[in-house]
Amino acid sequence: MDVKLFARRSGPARSFDIPQGAFTYDSAGGIVVGSVPTDWLEAYGPQLVSVFRKAFTSAEQKGLPLAEIALHYAGARITARDLRGGGIVYVFPVRKQP
Partner 1 sequence: MPSKHKVLIVDDEQELLNLYAELLRALPSRPEVHTATSGARALALLESDTFSLLLTDLHMPKMDGFQILLMVRRKYPALRTAVITGMADQEYRTRAYSIGTDLYIEKPQSRPELMLFADCIEGLLGQEEKGGFRGVQSKNLVDLVQMESLSHSSSVLRVLQSGIEGKIWIVEGEVVDAETDGSTGEPAFQRIMGWRRGSFEILPAQPERERRITTSTQSLLLDFAQWSDEARAAAEQDSGDVAEGMLRAVTRIEGVQSVLTRKGRGEIEAWGLEEADRYAEWGAELLEAASELGEKLSAGAVQRAIASSADRRMILQEEEDRFILLGLNAETTNREAGVIMDHVAREWT
Contacts of 98 (CB under 8 A, 6+ apart): none
Binding mask 23-52 for partner 1 (x = CB under 8 A): ---------------------x--xx--x-
Indicate the residue among 75 and 86 with the shorter CB distance to partner 1. 75
Beta bridge partners, 52, equal none
CA dist., res. 8 & res. 1, Å (int): 18
Alpha carbon distance 89, 79 (integer Å) = 6
Choice between 32 and 94, CB closer to partner 1: 94
Give least dist CB 75 to partner 1, A.
4
Give the binding-site size for partner 1 (rule: CB under 8 A). Answer: 32
> Considering beta carbons, is residue 24 or 51 the nearer one to partner 1?
51
- Select the residue interacting with partner 1 from 20, 30, 37, 65 (CB under 8 A): 65
- Cβ atoms of 85 and 69 within 8 Å: the answer is no
Chain residues 68-97 in contact with partner 1, contact rule CB under 8 A: 68-76, 78
Alpha-carbon distance of 60 to 66, in angstroms, equals 7
